[in-house]
Structure 1
Amino acid sequence: MDPAPYLALVVGLAVVCQWVAWRAKVPALLVLLVAGFTLGRLFSPDEILGRELLFAGVQLAVGIILFEGALGLRFRQVRDLGVPILRLCSRTVVITWVLVTLLAWGLGFDLRAALLVGAILTVTGPTVINPILRTLRPTRRVSQLLRWEGIVVDAIGAILGVLVLQVITSSGRTGPLLDAVITLLRAVGIAVLLSVVVGWLLTWMMRRDLLPDYLQGVTFLAAALGTMTLSNAVQSESGLLTVTLLGILLANQPGLHIQHIIEFLEHLQVLFVGALFVILAGRVEPRDLVGVADVAGLFVLGLLAIRAISIAVGLAGTEVTKQERTLMMAMAPRGIIAASITSIFALEFTHAAETAFARGDEAWAAEDFAGAETLYARAGDLYNLAQEVDRLVPLVFLVIVSTVAIYGLGVGRLAERLGLATVTPRGVLFAGSAPWVVAAAKRLRELQVPTLIVARERGDLRQARMSGLRTETASIISEYAVEDMDLAGIRSLVCATRDDNTNAIAASEFSHVLGRSNVHTLKRHDEEESTARRATAGRLKGNVAFSPPTDYDTLLANSRNHWRVTSTVLTDAYSADDFWVEHPRAIVLFVHSESGTNVASGARQGGETGDVFVAMIPDAETEEAEAAERRRTEAGHRETVGPR
């Protein structure tokens, strides 16, 4: 097959697999790996793309994935978590490296290959953790700890792998350990220098409006790729650390607005992750998997124990709670970074062996027979080691499949038992604190539905706080609300402020956080008289809340006129139609069922037996007075139009 149709097929599979995983509510990586293994039996990526081009592309794609992740790491998000993050990126990394090395060595791998796989498996896979966090939506502290660990430790793991490679392949006069120290200093130095220079340049250009909006995303992308390539040219495999530092530096520049750039790179990241898993899984032969199957089970069990030990020891004495540490022990799936780095290092050992063999030929031609014999022996040793590292590739893929299945499928129930997340979030976030909002939140609380009420002024939340409801004093369109606010257990947003434009902006911002289908706004005051020139742009609109759709003033007036928020259970004897007959002027706010809590919508909300309508209805006296007023109005109308 030609490269073009093969790549088109890979992209198509990457998208379809991730959609299937979303529909089936399983980790996308598992579906991608199955598709990759299957496609690899039909077409060989190495034969179609060539190993050199393939791994160059893999390296660049991994760099973009880490750069995109680093752009979301804000220091202000972790001001109270500095020590735990430092421990995760230092002490736990060393513990994991040492213990995984001992595990692999004990299972029969060469010590040098064991050191390498120990370095590689210090990474925890942000490409897997981030989708799990999106679905699970745990507490802010746990989420931030895992995000920082996933991104930063990936770059550290790559550098550790380079140091091991340097020690093993070193043939310099200074000795392997000194070579490794020089390599480390050079990698860190070039990473800091390039990230600071390129970061300053990009910031300077953005602040002086030297980049039009349509070029900003691709400019950041090109800068990341160029910086990574230059860094790798100076020091092999230092590029991942460089782009990680560059992303963190740009993310923490005050006044630099890059959310649209992050969204652009997020789309690329989804595509690259899917494509990389399909391609790299296609390189693994079934016989290779069978060859390491005998040790894979013990290796995976050992990794689970090592994760628990490294977290327990690494975070001991920090402010991280016992529940948070327990959840973190169960969240270390490996992902595309581990797979790609292992494959790249296997190729590097082959290149080192070929280089040693070529130098042996040169020494033989120069009649330095003793030197030639030494180089030939070294080349043979490196070839054997390359074959040992090749065995690590299928082992790492089995580790990826196993850890994603174990951590990804089991962590939800554990997080729920620990009180740090909800397997099926059903909570409601209210923007605005009108009296009817407080009444609705109290009714939802009776149904065991978590709520959060957000208002700009603390005084506006007095009634909600006195009712024992969870509140936050913040603007719903602030960076804090959109990026930092703890949304554990929250599924839906109801934008219920007095200002229609604030509601529209909040709906647009939170559609990226909760999903567009879960974001709702009140009916606009001017909805009936809006024209094409005055109507809100479609991208700013949320779903119109409640049944029938109602604006802020009407809901507030109803509240002042003593309308009540009630909950009504639908039964076989009392259906949704019966509810509407009894309460024709009701406003259904929410529909609660065993599967979740949904914001009501449409002109006449339907329901099934067992559903609970949370609705706003007139009290008996108000309803009777309104009915009498309608009768008087109708009578007056008949007098006016009747015969004289």
Structure 2
Amino acid sequence: MAIQSVGLDPVTAFGLVGVCGVGAQWLAWRLRLPAIVLMLAAGLLVGPATGIFDPARDIGALTGPLISLAVAVILFEGGLSLDLHRLGDARGGVKRLVLIGAPLGWLTSTLALVYAAGLSWEAAAVFGGIMIVTGPTVIAPLLRSARLARRPAQLLQWEAIVNDPIGALAAVLAFEVVLVLRAGHSAGAALADLAVGIGAATLIGIAAGYGIAYTFRRGRVPEFMKVPVLFVALLAAFAASDRLLHESGLLAVTVMGLVIANADLPSMTELRRFKEHATVLLVSGVFILLAAGLTTEQIAMLDWRAALFVVSVVLLARPLTVLVSLLGTKLPMKERLFIAFTGPRGVVLVAVAGLFGQRLAEAGIEDGARMGPLAFILVLSTVVLHGFTLAPLGRWLGLANKEKPGLLIVGGSRFTTQLAETLQKTEVPVLITDPNHAHLIRPRAAGIKTFYGDILGEAAEDSVELIAYGTLLAATDNDAYNTLVATDLAPELGRDAVWQIARAKDDRPRHTLPTQLGGRGFANGRTFETLKGLIGEGWRFRVTKLSEEYTVEDWKEKRPNAIPIMRIKPKGELRFVPSRDAVKGEPGARIVALLPPDAFEDPAPAGDTLGAGPVAELAVPKANLP
């Protein structure tokens, strides 16, 4: 109670929000749990549970505007992801989920709120509009962890992004109608104002998007100012639209992001990184603020009807909406069922529901106060449910990659072909890509999966399931291209998972690149030509499995001339080895190394038998040598 009476100053409050939000996301990454669950838990802990932080007390009137601006940036990030060139064969399904699914979802959600949660028709109509949204900030990390096939993943992600502003506008429409009916004003006049506001928001978003694209393409803005200019333009578009019609700014910023995403700007990489970083910070902050702002009275409103409401949404409203929307499409039934039973809600639902619930309560609709708690319990339930069932459901329906995370090799050569053959014998999925068709002849003859084309091109985005490969090796005969590939794909795969064959002149200070360029090195800095020469001399790969009896020290002692390339952890994680001294391994791990020809002629050392015993080794047959 003493803490509650004293409170926090605004600076300390903002620091606490940042630590709790980002800390919860980091902890979720470490524990491989849904981040939103830990963020909600952190907000409830510092808020209603302990009283350390109360947004209304410690931040005051700034809380609402901060949340609104954060949601605007999050929706802009969603619009910036809507590159129409990447939609592919999911286009028809997305249209149906938006044009048919949005109004149908509004209806089914409203019915669930009335008959299951017990809300009045007025509050249910407003809340039902918000429930159209399915949370792109929640869907994206779930899809990454589930490693789904491309089309169902695209359908879920695009539905979430496009329906976010539509849900907010549906809530605005219902809210305005409710106020008109209660005040006795003309419904026609209210609807006309709404149409003008929506049209103006769309035009503002288009103008802002084209303005940014024009100035960036013509070089009117220097590189170091592009992100600040973009951010200010985003806030200005949101404020201008919101001034005309409250919450229409969400539509304006989404349209603005959509226009910029399809403008084919050369600086899109920097813009995407900005929006990704901003989204992580803002999502963290919004969830902490909303969860900490809950009162014990609001939490006490969650009774058995709240549980019935969640069940009716997950098992009735969502499946019915999706199955009816996709009726008559060419999508396989297993994909329709998967999408029908996948509908996690996220930050926009909680933020907008809390905002409109408060305003309905101020307008005299008492059960408007229940919207915030119901939104929280729906978000928490769906995120936990889908967070732990999405991957198993995808595998059960045959829509998820059942294999271990594999290796993506950029560059076809004798070295990479033999490495791929060796890994395939250990059941590690491998894909070799190369823009030179001749370089893929050898891996194709060896039965290795290949992709002909530039891994950085649009064709690769449509044809390569990048999410199925957790590790990348850039190993072409072009050092500059290897560096480009490793640098471009490092943010998506993670820098720890991107490796590159050593550059020919990297040991010379004049040619050394900054650490932020390229991938990590392996094989003690051996270059493409060096490794190619070793293969030509008859060096071959061998996989050695470690055990309690045969440790990594035993392997080093008995294989003094071996060149360790990588190790495979017991759970299948791949890790290239920078040098011989860096070789590590626990029992069950496997070491992939290059051995000289005489190592296959001499008898295997004690405890180092071929194919049996404490260390099982697999060698590529000599017939497969070039």
User: Which residue of structure 1 aligns with residue 171 of structure 2?
Assistant: 161
- Segment of structure 1 superposing worse, 91-100 or 222-231: 91-100
Contact 1:421 1:488 in 2 (8 A): no
**1:152 aligns to 2:162 (yes or no):** yes
Contact in 1 for aligned 2:407/2:431 (Cα 8 Å) = yes
Alignment equivalent of 1:132, drawn from 142, 145, 156 = 142
Residues 144, 467 of structure 2: 8 Å contact kept:
no
| Aligned counterparts of 1:287 and 1:217: Cα–Cα separation in 2 | 42
Residue 59 of structure 1 corresponds to 68
Moved more, 6-15 or 307-316: 307-316
Deviations 1:603-623 (A, max 9, x none): 222322222223222334887
Aligned runs of 1:410-421 on 2, under 5 Å?
Answer: 410-421=389-400
TM-aligned CA distance change 1:180 to 1:460, over 3 Å:
farther
Letter in 2 for 1:250: I
Q: CA deviation at 1:308?
A: 2.2
Structure 1 residues 317, 580: closer, same or farther in 2, change over 3 A? farther
Q: How has the CA–CA distance of structure 1 residues 606 and 173 changed in structure 2, closer, same or farther, with 3 Å as cutoff?
A: closer
Question: One-letter code of the match for 1:4?
Answer: V
Output the CA distance in 2 between the equivalents of 1:40 and 1:549. 53
Deviation at 1:54, TM superposition (A): 1.5
Distance 1:346 1:118 in 2: 12
User: Structure 1 residue 540 and structure 2 residue 517: aligned?
Assistant: yes
| Partner SS, residue 560 of structure 2 | coil
User: Partner of 1:487 in structure 2?
Assistant: 466
The answer to whether the 8 Å contact 2:499/2:520 transfers is yes
Q: Is the 8 A contact 1:70 1:244 kept in 2?
A: yes
Post-superposition offset of 1:405: 0.5
Asked whether 1:326 is paired with 2:343, we answer: no
Amino acid aligned to 1:88 = L
Aligned to 1:257: 267
Separation in structure 1 between the aligned mates of residue 194 and residue 439 of structure 2, nearest angstrom: 55
Measure how far apart 1:29 and its partner are.
0.9
Match of 1:392 among 339, 346, 371: 371
Aligned to 1:476: 455
Query: Of 228, 232, 245, which aligns to 1:235?
Result: 245
Alignment root-mean-square deviation, CA: 2.3
CA distance in 2, matches of 1:264, 1:482: 21
How has the CA–CA distance of structure 1 residues 184 and 556 changed in structure 2, closer, same or farther, with 3 Å as cutoff? farther
Query: Are 1:283 and 2:293 matched, yes or no?
Result: yes
What is the DSSP-based 3-state SS (H/G/I as helix, E as strand, rest coil) of the residue aligned with 1:557? Answer: helix
Cα distance change of structure 1 residues 482 and 78 upon mapping to structure 2, 3 Å threshold: closer
In structure 2, give the amino acid aligned to 1:518: A
- Aligned AA for 1:103? A
CA spacing shift, 1:328–1:588, aligned 2, 3 Å: farther
Q: Could you tell me which residue of structure 1 aligns to residue 42 of structure 2? A: 35
Question: Per-residue deviation at 1:85?
Answer: 0.8
CA shift in 2, pair 1:185/1:255, >3 Å: same
1:21 matches 2:32: no
Q: Within 2, Cα distance between the matches of 1:483 and 1:508?
A: 21
Report the counterpart of residue 565 of structure 2 in structure 1.
589
Deviation of 1:522 after TM superposition, in Å, equals 1.2
Q: Deviations over 1:272-307 (max 9, x none)?
A: 110110111111123322222221211111111122
Alignment correspondent of 2:595: 617
1:99 counterpart SS class: helix
- Most deviating of 290-299 and 69-78: 290-299
Query: What letter is aligned with 1:308?
Result: P
In structure 2, how many angstroms separate the alpha carbons of the residues matched to 1:273 and 1:258?
Answer: 22
Matches within 5 A, 1:366-515: 383=364, 385=365, 387-422=366-401, 426-478=405-457, 481=460, 485-515=464-494
How far 1:190 sits from its partner (Å)? 1.3
- Any idea what SS the aligned residue of 1:543 has? coil
Q: Contact 1:124–1:150 (CA<8 Å) still a contact in 2?
A: yes
**Match of 1:75?**
84
Aligned length: 587
Task: Determine the structure 2 residue equivalent to 1:343.
Answer: 354
Q: 2:213, 2:260 within 8 Å by CA — same for their partners in 1?
A: yes
Cα offset, 1:502, TM superposition: 1.5
Residues of 1 paired with 2:463 and 2:161: CA distance?
Answer: 18
**Farther-moved stretch of structure 1 (59-68 vs 113-122):** 113-122
Cα contact 2:538–2:597 (8 A) shared by 1? yes
Report what 2:217 is aligned to: 207
Q: Give the TM-score normalised by the residue count of structure 2.
A: 0.89
CA distance in 1, matches of 2:189, 2:352: 21
How much has 1:18 moved relative to structure 2? Answer: 1.2
Q: Can you give the 5+ residue segments of structure 2 that lack an aligned partner in the other structure?
A: 1-7, 603-626
Letter in 1 for 2:104: I
1:535 Cα deviation after fit: 0.2
Q: Secondary structure at the match of 2:467?
A: coil
Secondary structure of the corresponding residue to residue 536 of structure 1: coil
Distance 2:177 2:339 in 1: 32
Which digits, 9 at most, give the CA deviation of each residue in 1:104-124, with x for residues without a partner? 111321011111221111110
User: What per-residue deviation string (whole Å, max 9, x for no partner) do you get for residues 133-164 of structure 1?
Assistant: 33334232233222211111011101110111
Q: Which residue of 2 is the match for residue 557 of structure 1?
A: 533
Local SS of the residue matching 1:539 = coil
Residue-by-residue CA offset, 1:159-206 (whole Å, 9 max, x unaligned): 110111111111688743x35643553243113211221122111111
Instruction: Indicate the percent of aligned positions where both proteins have the same amino acid.
Output: 30
Deviations 1:442-493 (A, max 9, x none): 2222322222211002332222233332222222343554798421321000
**TM-score between both structures, scaled by the size of structure 1:** 0.86
CA contact (8 A) 2:395 2:401 kept: yes
State the one-letter code of the partner of 2:201.
A
Whichever residue aligns with residue 21 of structure 1, its letter is A
Q: Secondary structure at the match of 1:540?
A: coil
More deviation, 159-168/469-478: 469-478
The Cα offsets for residues 78-105 of structure 1, whole Å up to 9 and x where unpaired, read as 1322111101112122222111111111
- Distance of aligned partners of 1:201 and 1:210 in 2 relative to their CA distance in 1, 3 Å threshold: same
Alignment CA distance shift 1:321-1:551 (3 Å)? farther
Which secondary structure state, in structure 1, belongs to the residue aligned with residue 573 of structure 2? strand
Kept in 2: contact 1:323–1:418 (CA 8 A): yes
Equivalent-residue separation in structure 2 for 1:223 and 1:207 (angstroms): 16
The letter of the residue matching 1:307 is R
